[in-house]
A and B are shown apart, each in its own frame.
Chain A
Amino acid sequence: MNLPNDYILAENSAAAMLRGQNHSPMSIGQMYAIAQNIMGAFQGDSALLQLPALHEEDTALPLMAAARILQALLKSQQQRGLAPDITRRTCLLAACAYAMMGNLPSAAAVQREISLSALAGTAEIIAAAISNPSSLAHLLKLESLEADARRWLEQLNSFLITGEQDRAQTLEPSLEVLALNCNDMFDMALFASARLALAQVVYLSVSSALKGNTPFMQAFGERVVEARRPCLLPPQHQLLVSQQFAERHENAVVTLPTSGGKTLIAEFAIAQSLSGGPGIAIYVVPYVALGGQVVEALTTHFPANTRIHALYGGFKADADLNPNARREIVVATPERADALLRVRGLYEHLRIAVFDEAHVLENPHRGARIEALMARLRMQQSVGRKFRLVLLSAVLSQVEALCQWLGPNTIHANSRWRPTVRRISIWHRSGRLSWLYENDPMRPSGQRAGDILVQSVLPWPRPIYPTDRYAQILAQRPGAYSNASFLARYIDGLLGGPILIVCGTKATTRGLARTLADELPLQEVSPPTIIKIIDYIQRDAKHLSSLCVMLRRGVAYHNASLPIELRKLIEQAIRNRDIHYTCATTTLAEGVDLPFRSTIVFDWLIGFGDRQAPMSSLLFRNIAGRCGRAGEFVEGDTILFDNVFGNQKYTHDSLRPTAQARVLTDPLPLESTISNDNLSREEREAIRATVSSQLIAAVDELPDIEQLDEFFAAHLYASHRGLSSIDVFKQAQTDLLDDSDGEPFAVAASPMRLTALGQAANRTGLSAQSVRKLVGFLRNLRDDLSLDVLAARLLQATGDFPEQNNATLAKLAAGTLKRSYIGTPDLGTLCTQWCEGVPFEQMFVGLPKARSSSSSVTPHDWARGSRESEYVAAQYDKFIEVVEYTFGVFLPWVFRACHALAPVVDNPVVTARDWFRDAEALEFARITDLEGIDLESDEQN
């Protein structure tokens, strides 16, 4: 096999060409020839013998280069207006090149560039079907399909459904017959490439992989195929077929890159764990939006005799589960999973627990609970429970400690294989737009990750200087928006869209979207999805009228202040590619899988004041992973906007490159949140509360363990990072045993046992200190209060609990919230309005301070959509954030806690009250914006 020796240079040239630059003096014809030459080198019989090797980067590198070169040339041909016949042929070659190395998602993404009905002749149709088997249904309907080609496609279809090897064995010979019947050299060459692609399709077939497995697994496989996923990705095949990952029982850390197919691997492991019969699998998701995607996948793929439960939100154990008799899969937030495990005694039936986005372990707000929850599961394994723990992450790179934590035989399922290319660039204040080599496999030897692949001179239209002074930031902000808008339009022209612009605050999403829209022309015709959004705003959300103007120009913003229905409509429009530019907070960037071609990170500094710091490289990687979705695109570009506003220790010209390099670097090993000393006082208190609550759970779950505090601390991830958390556990244990305020939570028998108070506390999910406060409140409750009055009093009593991490609510409860329309006296009214389903804008303008506002634009005018005001909009942001969390999540949790504690407070008023009804009155009043709680709010930032 003779390969051209300059294919890396050619790939780099093609990548540079796509980005508007000449990388080297290499002609288009030469690049084309290099790509074709590589494909030719893999058309012989020898390539058929090395299919699995072609899933390894080193072996597949030439084909990867060929595919990328052809894809770049295709874009170039389209931009230069070459004849459709030529671009179609280039497209088919690019798709075949991807398929030859088993990268079927990218082959499918390339094929999106052409209309399948324009395919000319049998060879092109067959090649298209092989490169993208999920297009078979469409291709079989083509009228232009000749009889022999139809028969062949039917054979392929039949194999993909049944997995029968007999059928597979007829495919290649009949493909050769079809090839020999054609006279065109291009068609012949296409057939030659398609043969290797066909071998990949057969090798990667889902049905084939599950042939001979249990009926349950086969039924699962059938549904996966029916859902138009007939083939595994190479790393999935390697894990599931070659390494029998699903059948094994060891814990595992799966660190495949974005779009590497982690979820399906977890699904296989879940299916296998439930294959033998009833039981329960828990899939923990940190974001509700991600949960929605997982539930959709599970519902589609699992047979009807499996029940899928979506359990999101705060601490709540309610669920219709029967793992004794049914196969149950629970997709839950960490809080719901925690509650289920404590209250429902599920360990006996637990077969597997999957933690998606496991790097959330490092998140200051939620990491402690997740770490402790995993530690509880590890402790259960230590005492002999038989279930499997699987951690998934696309962004972790150093996981030795994580694997150690999960046990000596832990499988680290890893692969560098990724279907799409990730490109990173920085648009510097100096006017240089620099794309970096990063860790791309096409980086030439001698070049480092931070070295420049291609650089353009693109001056900032509006000069901006670094500053951390608020007034100067305010004065320069329009200029920064204008620059970012210019960049977005430039990237769109260069690479195409849709484009996601990630902003640090809701206000920035609005401001940037407005600037972008002002610089774009009105679209002549609005697509139906856009008309639907506009209708919704005009009917139900007039305060968002300015968004209608933006939508007509292909721009939208997306943040937690928008009504949830509206957000869903916007997401649908993005899915349909009807919105070209979306300015969003990190919620969208981290959560939902939407088809963005490129991402611009406008704010690379997170937080405000002394707490401001560069975005973690984990977060940046996660955001970067959002663009270039597999199957939609073959590349995703993330551009860091060199934002110079903020703390000068990061934004000063001499320090900024170093700070930004930290953002772009490979993530370090995960840190344990519980043992992290570099946190704020509030965050430390929240961790102490979490530890207390988790220790209570552990006492109940592990009645035979002596010195539980030490046992628990030793099972934390922290202990495998060489850090001790024993002090915080000792303190928590002391609190549990403390009887100075009356009955303790536990008694120091040998081993420790929960008292009745402790048992009740365990059902609340709260810490010992918070339970004491709540018990004190309940003991003093004298009257059967109406819901609104009770809610207001409870919030004042519990709003400062460290377990809740909404800073606005804490200040509201403490009466220290300043410069806000919403005040402590409003809580009761808001509770009533919440339950009555009063629209949020109406609740907002009804606030006394809003009614008496002397601002130039009144909240009333703003809500009617007649005038815009960023000040009022910011007030509304804060209002929505606190109201949704308070009444949709926190207060129901507290009501349920009251129900759990009622038996131990000895107060007939408390005992007589139906706390569940109160909780449900809030929960069922409206669709709670559970995504809102995913967000690190502007206030906290």
Chain B
Amino acid sequence: LNWPLAREATIFLKQISGGLELWTGDPTCQAAHEALLAILAKAGPFICATEPLSARRQGNLGEFIALQVALHAPLQYTSVHAMNAFQPLQDISNAGLDVTYLYFAPSDESNDCIYIQEVKTTGGITLDYAETLVDDYQKLFDEDPKFTLNTRIQGIATKIAWGEKRADLADRLRNLARTEPKSCTGVRLIPTLVHERLGTDPVVKLLAVKTAISALGWVSGDIRPWSVAFEDVILRLTRIARGQK
């Protein structure tokens, strides 16, 4: 991964509530804002100061932020695979993959694991947009191969095998693929909502999302929703995209 990662600095703070992870800026939203800006500045270029934030960039930035949270989270990942999260300022949004984290256990292959993170970003107070996360996870076992879990695993396995010349890890990754949600013992889901902090109740909404995803056949314990909350989230994302504090 060539992306500049901010592993050393703390950006986000976690709280646990109702089995959800609630992330906020550490110690403030503005502090997280500035840290994210610093990371983005190395990738640049920012959009110009008068350009409005498109829905695509808003989504990309949401994925970028979710990735940065993850990089600080106690996820045991070996590598990260994403597209939009690595190029959040481009006005293109690739469908099919938000963020995937792989974990290859050093001593016991049976502990290998893959995290599938789907991210939605909204400035709305009701957080209803979070419900579309369920659709994203439903696609993992639906009939458009562009979005299925097997496609995702095979695509990444190909990168590992041919790009990183690690055919052994590719085989281990493919071994995690299953044919229905309930048998996916090596897959964890992280439905993530990047949203407005003030006046919202992410716990209720994300628990509903978790329940709905469970109804698709996933084991409830393998679903761990995240809330990533900012004050004035849309304005903040716009400023970040423009390179403004």
Contact = CB atoms under 8 A, between A and B. Distances in A.
Contacts of A332: none
Interface string A3-47: 010100000000000000000000011101110110111011100
Given A36-B151, A188-B158, A44 B174 contact: yes
B241 interface: no
Contact of A185 (B156, B162, B171, B179): B156
Contact of B146 (A39, A44, A73, A186): A186
B33 interface: no
A193 B163 CA distance: 16
Nearest to B184: A33
Given A33-B148, A33-B149, A185 B97 contact: yes
B157 A192 contact: yes
Contacts of A37: 150, 177-179
Contacts of A748: none
B144 A89 contact: yes
Interface in A177-201: 179-180, 183-189, 191-193
Interface of A: 2, 4, 6, 28-30, 32-34, 36-37, 39-41, 43-45, 73, 77, 82, 85-86, 89-90, 93, 176, 179-180, 183-189, 191-193
Contacts of B97: 185
Interface string B39-52: 00000000000000
B112 to A, nearest CB: 12
Nearest to B81: A185
Contacts of A90: 143, 145
Contacts of A36: 145, 148, 150-151, 154, 177
B155 A180 contact: no
Contacts of B158: 43, 179, 188-189, 191-192
Given A29-B141, A77-B143, A186 B150 contact: no
Nearest to B83: A183
A85 B149 CA distance: 18
Contact of B143 (A44, A86, A184, A189): A86
A186 B167 contact: no
Given A37-B177, A183-B83, A32 B148 contact: yes
B146 A40 contact: no
A347 B97 CA distance: 71
Contacts of B154: 36, 39-40, 43, 185, 188-189, 192-193
Nearest to A74: B143
A370 B155 CA distance: 58
Nearest to B142: A29
Contacts of B179: 4, 6, 30, 33-34, 37
Contacts of A34: 179
Nearest to A36: B150
B72 to A, nearest CB: 26
17 contacts: A29-B142, A36-B177, A40-B153, A40-B157, A43-B158, A45-B161, A77-B143, A86-B143, A86-B145, A89-B145, A89-B146, A179-B162, A184-B94, A185-B96, A186-B96, A192-B155, A192-B157
Indicate the member of B155, B157, B174 with the most A CB atoms within 10 Å. B155
Contacts of A82: 143
A44 B171 contact: yes
B155 A186 contact: yes
Indicate the member of A45, A85, A193 with the most B CB atoms within 10 Å. A45
Given A36-B151, A185-B97, A192-B158, 17 more contacts: A29-B143, A30-B179, A32-B141, A32-B143, A33-B141, A33-B148, A39-B154, A40-B157, A43-B154, A43-B174, A176-B162, A179-B162, A184-B146, A185-B152, A186-B146, A188-B156, A192-B161
A191 B149 CA distance: 17
Contacts of B177: 36-37, 40
A123 to B, nearest CB: 10
Contacts of B150: 33, 36-37, 39-40, 189
B70 interface: no
B201 interface: no
A180 to B, nearest CB: 5
B94 A44 contact: no
Given A43-B158, A43-B174, A188-B158, A28 B143 contact: yes
Nearest to A46: B171
Secondary structure of the A side of the interface?
helix
Nearest to A177: B162
B175 interface: yes
B135 interface: no
A90 B146 CA distance: 9
B141 A86 contact: no
Given A37-B178, A43-B174, A185-B97, A30 B152 contact: no
A179 B154 CA distance: 12
A44 B167 contact: yes
A-B residue pairs, 3 tightest by C-beta = A185-B155, A188-B155, A36-B150
A39 B155 CA distance: 12
Indicate the member of A39, A183, A185 with the most B CB atoms within 10 Å. A185
Nearest to A187: B155
B162 A186 contact: no
Contact of A186 (B145, B159, B175): B145
B153 A30 contact: no
Contacts of A85: 144, 146
Contacts of B145: 32, 36, 86, 89-90, 93, 186, 189
Contacts of A187: 155
Nearest to A90: B145
Nearest to A176: B162
B128 interface: no
Contacts of A29: 141-143, 180
B170 interface: yes
A185 B143 contact: no
A419 B151 CA distance: 26
A30 B146 CA distance: 15
Nearest to B163: A180
B3 to A, nearest CB: 14
Indicate the member of B148, B149, B154 with the most A CB atoms within 10 Å. B154
Contacts of A183: 83, 94
Contacts of B155: 184-189, 192
A90 B147 CA distance: 12
B144 A86 contact: yes
Nearest to A73: B143
Nearest to B153: A40
A186 B151 contact: yes
Nearest to A2: B175
B142 A32 contact: yes
A41 B178 CA distance: 11
Nearest to A41: B174
A93 B149 CA distance: 15
A69 B232 CA distance: 49
Indicate the member of B96, B142, B145 with the most A CB atoms within 10 Å. B145
A41 B141 CA distance: 17
Interface in B88-108: 94, 96-97
A542 to B, nearest CB: 53
Contacts of A77: 143
B222 to A, nearest CB: 17
Indicate the member of A82, A186, A193 with the most B CB atoms within 10 Å. A186
Contacts of A32: 141-143, 145, 148
Contacts of B161: 44-45, 192
A28 B148 CA distance: 13
Interface in B154-208: 154-159, 161-163, 167, 170-171, 174-175, 177-180
A826 to B, nearest CB: 67
Contacts of B96: 184-186
Contact of B151 (A2, A176, A185): A185
B178 A189 contact: no
Nearest to A30: B180
B117 to A, nearest CB: 14
Contacts of B180: 29-30, 33
A619 B193 CA distance: 66
